[in-house]
Structure 1
Amino acid sequence: MNPVSNETILIVGHGSREDSGNQEIRDFTEQWRARRPDWRIELCFIEFAPPEMNAALLSAARGSRRVMVVPLILNAAGHVKMEIPEAIEQARAVCPQTEILLAPHLTACDPILAILKRGLRKAMNALDMPDPTTTGVVVLGRGSSDRGANGEMAKMARWLLEEGDHELVDLAFTGITWPRLEKVVQRQVLLGVRQVVVLPYYLYTGTLMQRIHRQVEHLRGQYPQLRFACGEHFGFEAEIFELMDQRVTDLRAGVPDSRLPCDGCTYRIIAHDLGHGHSHAHTHDHAAAPAHDHAHDHAHHEGQPA
């Protein structure tokens, strides 16, 4: 028997209000299937698009002896830390005979850094290779109420600074937290930059990527003395497929083990005691949840489109 014939790999995407972003994730799934024809790869979304995560996970668990849940998500905030583990707990309760393993999200890592560095080189080429010491760089992400998720982006910005010649590599967010793009550009102008490269920290397109391009156009009008270059999202880069491959390989090898990343999270225990679940199948009452590092704000998108 084929050793993976009774195994399902379930991609979990965030989902977007803009269906073009959801379609890109569907396209990624098809491309990954083409790269791994012996794997059974399925797709679900946390919100905004079908198939819905809880139902898809139950379906996979009922039809497989082992399900490997692989989040196609950049940063670990509420969705990765709470909603995906809760969905897995529910599926384990219904299908105790099925082994369900959860892989880490994509994380801040060298493959993501390689994508950012390549995007920066492309933007510098578009600007005719100006002096990097007079060119500011802004890594621009969605922003989260979870400080750990924001910290992963800060790590990437710092690595980009340390491995390049740019003296200014700053972090900005399109929502939830600060600073915003306009403020960072204003500060860089005061420090004498002549060019600004905006590097979106997004996997796929969506309303927020569209907003970023509008913001950059507005900044071009606001600062006619500056030259701007804006990168693109990076969901189809080779490193993303390789990271997803590695997640599956690690789960099969038992690295990491099958424990949920938030099995012992006090916040989740308190939330359950208060009757505060996180499934998108029901109404969310955030007033009942205490403040915590894992605070879940449905406005954040963990590096995903909105």
Structure 2
Amino acid sequence: MSPKGAVMICGHGSRDERAVSQFNAMVETMKQTHLADYDVESGFLEFAHPILRDGFEKLKAMGHKKIYALPGMLFAAGHVKNDLPSEVNNFAHENPDIEVLFGRDLAIDPKLLMAAKERIEEALVDADDSIERKDTLLMVVGRGTNDPDANSNVYKVARMLQEGMGFGRTEISYSGVAHPRVNAGLREAMKLGYKRVVVFPYFLFAGILIDRIYTHTDEVAAEFGDVEFIKAGYLKDHPMVLESFAERLAEIDTGDNNMNCQLCKYREQIIGYEGDVGTPQVGHHHHVMGIGTDGHSHDHGHHHHHGHGHHHHGHSHGHSHDHGHSHAHDRDDAKKPTGS
């Protein structure tokens, strides 16, 4: 058995090799810096390999009896609330002697806000000095999901950047699923009369969606030649992003690994999503698991489904089967659960 601890970094995955490469590069950097005292493996939920199961199996083969699983995702939408826990639960169900502790999403974090600030400032280095911040609109672009809690976090990020950086106004848009989309959001923003627009994708890695954001920006910029459009870079492997990952790991041991259950549409009746309360916690990505960057399927046949107990986020997954969507975390229901 390895004397080190074990960390599994769970990535989203992409058909775009740039996204996969950047994720893998970040993991390698983490191995050398913040996670040097751990055996570290990684895998992807969809569209790329290795799949999550491969990483867990490698750590198991090393003899680890406790594995920390960290979601490599910014916000807690369906992947963090459903798909990743489902994969973790399946592995834990088949390996009851292994304790799997699941961290939370990166979320809204002072370190990530600092990383965002620096990416925006990098983009402004060569901008027209005659245009002041108060005459500049910041457009923060989120991924877009069918989870209102995750979507609303983009607004908070935007507002904090506006107040912290002195922009005249901040608007938000999404690359998909949610509205407004980037092109519609930018055209609407043009009515406000700002001289400059900075488009900032609040994303971790490159990919098709980043390309789409920049393409829509160019299209709208061509329609409004008197406005300066600046495309800022995404977060990528900024040092503060790596610090945030390390912080999420530390939170598991300290018990500070909390998510916002009060606004989770699976636990509470959120307006417009009342029918989602109690939805079973199952993965929805087996058909795209391991497919993408190499063209080969890596379906390992582990298709088990468990109830939507949401008993994760810093709690053991070793004995978790067929619980309702109570978020009870395998503990007395009188106790307030700490995860979404």
Please state which band the TM-score falls in when normalised by the shorter chain. 0.7 to 0.9
Change beyond 3 A, Cα 1:283–1:214: closer
CA separation in 1, counterparts of 2:60 and 2:94?
A: 9
Amino acid at match of 2:159: R
> 1:243-280 CA distances to partner (integer Å, 9 max, x unpaired)?
111122222334338xx999x958585436xxxx3153
1:99 Cα shift?
A: 1.2
Aligned match of 1:126: 126
Q: Which amino acid letter does the alignment assign opposite residue 17 of structure 2?
A: D
Structure 2: segments with no counterpart, 5+ residues: 269-275, 290-324, 326-340
CA-to-partner distance for each residue in 1:56-92, whole Å, 9 max, x for gaps?
Answer: 3344346311100001101111110011111122122
Q: 218-227 vs 56-65, which deviates more?
A: 56-65
Q: Indicate the larger mover: 108-117 or 14-23.
A: 108-117
Which residue matches 1:44?
A: 43
Contact 1:87 1:279 in 2 (8 A): no
Residue 281 of structure 1 aligns with an amino acid whose one-letter code is H
For the 8 Å contact 1:7–1:65, the answer to whether it is kept is: no
Is 1:84 the counterpart of 2:89 in the alignment? no
Whether the 8 Å CA contact 1:76–1:149 is kept in 2: the answer is yes
Give the secondary structure class of the aligned counterpart of 2:50.
coil
- Counterpart-to-counterpart distance in 2, 1:78 and 1:218: 31
Q: Which runs of 4+ in 1 moved over 4 A?
A: 264-270
Change beyond 3 A, Cα 1:210–1:282: closer
Question: RMSD of the alignment, in Å?
Answer: 2.7
Distance 2:194 2:67 in 1: 50
Shift, 1:105, TM fit: 0.8
Name the TM-score, length of structure 1 as normaliser: 0.82
Identity %: 25
Whether 1:110 aligns to 2:116 is no
Q: Which has the higher helix share?
A: 1
Structure 2 residue 241 is the aligned partner of structure 1 residue 240: yes
In structure 1, C-alpha distance between the alignment counterparts of 2:151 and 2:69, rounded to whole Å: 23
Residue type of the alignment partner of 2:285: H
Residues 1:250 and 1:222: Cα distance change in structure 2 (over 3 Å): same
Alignment partners' CA distance in 2, 1:92 and 1:78: 20
Q: Map 1:5-154; keep pairs closer than 5 Å.
A: 5-35=3-33, 36-61=35-60, 63-129=63-129, 130-154=131-155
Pair 1:278 & 2:279 matched: no
**Rounded Cα–Cα distance in structure 1 between residues aligned with 2:122 and 2:54:** 41
2: CA distance between counterparts of 1:120 and 1:59?
39
Determine the C-alpha separation between the residues in 2 that align with 1:138 and 1:204.
Answer: 18
Q: Equivalent residue for 1:216?
A: 217
Q: Is the 8 A contact 1:61 1:91 kept in 2?
A: no
> Any gaps of 5 or more consecutive residues in structure 1?
285-293, 295-306
Alpha-carbon deviations, 1:266-302, whole Å to 9, x = none?
Answer: 8585436xxxx31532599xxxxxxxxx9xxxxxxxx
What's the counterpart of residue 173 of structure 2?
Answer: 172
Work out the number of aligned pairs and report it: 277
- Residue 123 of structure 1 and its aligned partner are, at CA, apart by 2.6
Amino acid at match of 1:160: L
TM value normalised by structure 2: 0.75
Specify whether residues 19 and 237 from structure 1 end up closer, same or farther in structure 2 by C-alpha distance, changes over 3 A only.
same
Separation in 1, partners of 2:10, 2:206: 16
